[in-house]
Amino acid sequence: MTTATKYIFVTGGVTSSLGKGIIAASLAKLLQAQGYRATIQKLDPYINIDPGTLNPYEHGECYVTDDGAETDLDLGHYERFLNVPTSQSNNVTTGRIYQSVIDKERRGEFLGKTVQVIPHITDEIKERIQILGKSGDYDIVITEIGGTVGDIESLPYIEAVRQLQWELGESNAIVIHLTLVPYLKAAGELKTKPTQHSVKTLMESGVQANVLVCRTEYELSDGIRTKLARFCNVKREAVIQSIDASTIYDVPNLMLEEGLDKVVLKQLELEWIQPKLTLWNEFLTRHKNPKSEVTIGLIGKYVELQDSYKSILESFIHAGATNEVKVNIEFIHSEYLNSENIKTSLSHLDGVLVAPGFGERGIEGKIDAVKYVREHKIPFFGICLGMQMAVIEFSRNVLKLADANSTEMDEGTEHPVISLMEAQKTITNKGGTMRLGAWACKLEADSIVSQVYGQDEIQERHRHRYEFNNNYKAQIEAAGMKATGLNPDTGLVEIVELSEHPWFVGVQYHPEYKSTVANPHPLFVAFVGAALKYSKTK
Ligand code: GLN
């Protein structure tokens, strides 16, 4: 193995949503399974500094890293596949690039020069790409470039790739172009022309794709592969088919069959060995051969767009495999839930998860749902806003504090059982200012969580401004809702449980960000286990 880091760029052509993130993660998995230290980085061409300020309807879930970066959801795939934490350096946006260049300009660092896209913006991009490589922690850095080739926004990134390929040499930096080979029903044929055009567009910027990964609904024939190779200037073996898969977790094996890792390593002049995917394949076997099934209601307000809850859905897949259970998720829109339809909406479920979220819309439905599962002893898992709703419901219906609320929803509430954290009170800017990233939490002995985690102190990732109001702690605990996890330094309540309930856990943090194929999150595993147990009592 050489010491210099090798770079792989993944660009996309023809259309968005082809799954560059999954291809990048699958390739990284195959490289990791051969002993290479691989990481993945996502470059996003939008002008937001990070996706933290984006509505989930725009861009899906905002994924949070240990170091508190609010990032693209593709980083979640990287962690789930590789089981290696990502960081701030793994996601860069145009907004961040420009901000950094403009800050340097204000500090006079450009010594009177005119600041331009080339070289200043492209230099900044090149620097960000190489930060991970220069850390010495990785043999291979895969950089996924968001958007589609030909977009105005992508141009500086493609230019940076061109320059880097030139500077580093072709055995140190290669380009994988992910494209679509559509099937035209009327003609009964797969069509290569869109791919030819997108490769040509890439070439207009001086970048020649080294490998083509072709998304397709049907097998690519030999003839099509040869044609693509000929027209797109790539080797025949570098035309890789990526056929639709029943689960994203099949993609590493599909890429292995197609030889993506082999062709990439050959071009990088690195050795190929048979990847060791034993644990991965054991997971797949369990995932595909469930012994029973459960139905879990996911209650949220962004349920029309499943990407909004990406990490939660994937955590259920991991936890299902561990339990050898098929987890069916029923999406329930909190805005349409009320005390009249709650029974018909929830009574058949084996468990209910109340999702994270912001703002007032849909919260009364979430509170009604918590009441129902609390009273009917249905396993309950509340995450972030879901945990806050559990505290509000308990305060209103058990403590009889009728207008108990979060000050996020009602600033003037008489009983602010959830209130703005002290540190948040002076903050006015929105981006990157929540309580973010990994924080410690001490678990109470004799609690569900201490049993589930099997340890007494944990680290979990956060993304919130509001918190359990400790002025109500004694009262709430005396009535049977226990604070079973506290931040050791601040005393902030991170976990609540109900004593008189088989499985009722609300967590202020986001366990879903840490669930991976290799390490399914213990809370999701235990929740699915509780749902399974409950399903047998019905
Ligand atoms: N809106 C709540 C807060 O800011 C919950 C946030 C969340 O669910 N991520 O505290």
Q: Which residue has a Cα nearest atom 5 of ligand 1?
A: 385
Ligand 1 atom nearest to CA at 463:
9
Tokens (6 digits) for 86: 């990502």
**Residue 464 Cβ < 6 Å to ligand 1:** yes
What separation in Å is there between the alpha carbon of 435 and the centre of ligand 1?
10
The bridge status of strand 292-300 relative to strand 140-145 is unpaired
The position carrying tokens 């195959």 is: 30
C-beta of 465 in contact with ligand 1 (< 6 A): yes
Measured from the Cα of 418, ligand 1's closest atom is: 10
CA 448/CA 474 separation, integer angstroms: 20
Euclidean distance between CA atoms 368 and 343, whole angstroms:
10
Q: Which residue has the tokens 């994203």?
A: 248
Note if 324 is an active site residue.
no
CB 88 within 8 A of CB 51: no
**Stretch (H or E) spanning 293:** strand 292-300
- Residues 333 and 303: their CA atoms lie apart, in Å, by 6
Task: Tell me the HSE value of 35 on the side-chain side, using a 13 A CA sphere.
Answer: 7
CA geometry: angle 191, 196, 202, nearest 5 deg: 145
Single out the residue of 93, 89, 16 nearest to residue 53, CA to CA: 93
Please say if 510 is a catalytic residue. yes
Of 216, 238, 40, 255, the C-alpha closest to 145 is 40
Lookup: tokens for 107: 């500090």
Residue 494 CA to residue 508 CA, distance in Å, equals: 5
Single out the catalytic residue among 120, 462, 501, 510: 510
With a 6 A CB cut-off, is 408 part of the ligand 1 pocket? yes
Q: Is the CB of 462 under 6 A from ligand 1?
A: no
Q: What is the pLDDT of residue 59?
A: 83
Number of other CB atoms surrounding residue 193 within 10 Å: 11
Q: 384, 415, 441, 501: which one is catalytic? A: 384
In the chain (538 residues long), the average pLDDT of successive 10-residue segments reads 81 91 97 97 94 86 95 95 95 96 97 96 97 94 94 95 95 97 94 96 96 96 96 97 96 98 98 97 98 97 88 98 98 94 96 95 95 98 98 98 96 96 87 92 96 97 96 97 97 96 98 98 98 95
Residues 6+ apart with CB under 8 A from 69: 50, 87, 88, 90, 91, 436, 437
Q: Judge if the beta carbon of residue 512 lies within 6 A of ligand 1.
A: no
Contact yes or no for 168/7 (Cβ under 8 A): yes
Residue 56 CB less than 6 A away from ligand 1: no
Q: How far apart are CA 161 and CA 129, in angstroms?
A: 9
Strand partners of residue 368? none
Looking at residue 3, its pLDDT comes to: 54
CA gap 192, 180 in Å, rounded: 8
At a CB cut-off of 8 Å and minimum separation 6, what does 193 contact?
Answer: none
Q: From ligand 1's centre to the CA of 359, what distance in Å?
A: 8
Residue closest via CA to ligand 1's atom 6 equals 464
Residue type at position 445? A
| Residues 24, 376: Cα–Cα separation, whole Å | 44
Question: How many other CB atoms are found less than 10 A from the CB of residue 335?
Answer: 15
Half-sphere exposure in the Cβ direction for 455 (13 Å, CA): 9
What is the number of the ligand 1 atom nearest to the C-alpha of 466? 10
The three-state secondary structure class of 295 is strand
Strand partners, 149: none
- Identify the residue whose tokens are 């992508």: 154
Collapsing DSSP to helix, strand or coil, 137 comes out as coil
Query: Could you tell me where the DSSP H helices lie in 107-205?
Result: 122-134, 155-168, 193-204
Residue 430, pLDDT score: 86
Alpha helices in 169-309 (DSSP H): 193-204, 222-232, 251-258, 260-267, 278-288
User: Ligand 1: which of 309, 358, 422, 494 to mutate, most ligand atoms within 8 Å of CB?
Assistant: 358
pTM above 0.75, yes or no: yes
Give the Å distance between the CA of 356 and the centre of ligand 1. Answer: 6
Tokens read off for 222: 């030999």
Look at residue 1 in the predicted model and tell me its pLDDT.
Answer: 42
In the chain, count of helices (H) and strands (E)? 18, 23
How far is it, in rounded angstroms, from Cα 259 to Cα 489? 51
- Give the model's pLDDT for residue 303: 82
Contact status, residue 358 vs residue 386, Cβ threshold 8 Å: no
**Rounded CA separation 67/90 (Å):** 11
Annotation marks residue 318 as catalytic: no
Structure tokens at 147: 């958007």
Separation of CA 386 and ligand 1 centre (Å): 9
For residue 384, give the ligand 1 atom closest to its CA: 8
- Which residues 6+ apart lie within 8 Å of 7 measured at CB? 129, 133, 140, 141, 142, 143, 164, 168, 172, 173, 174
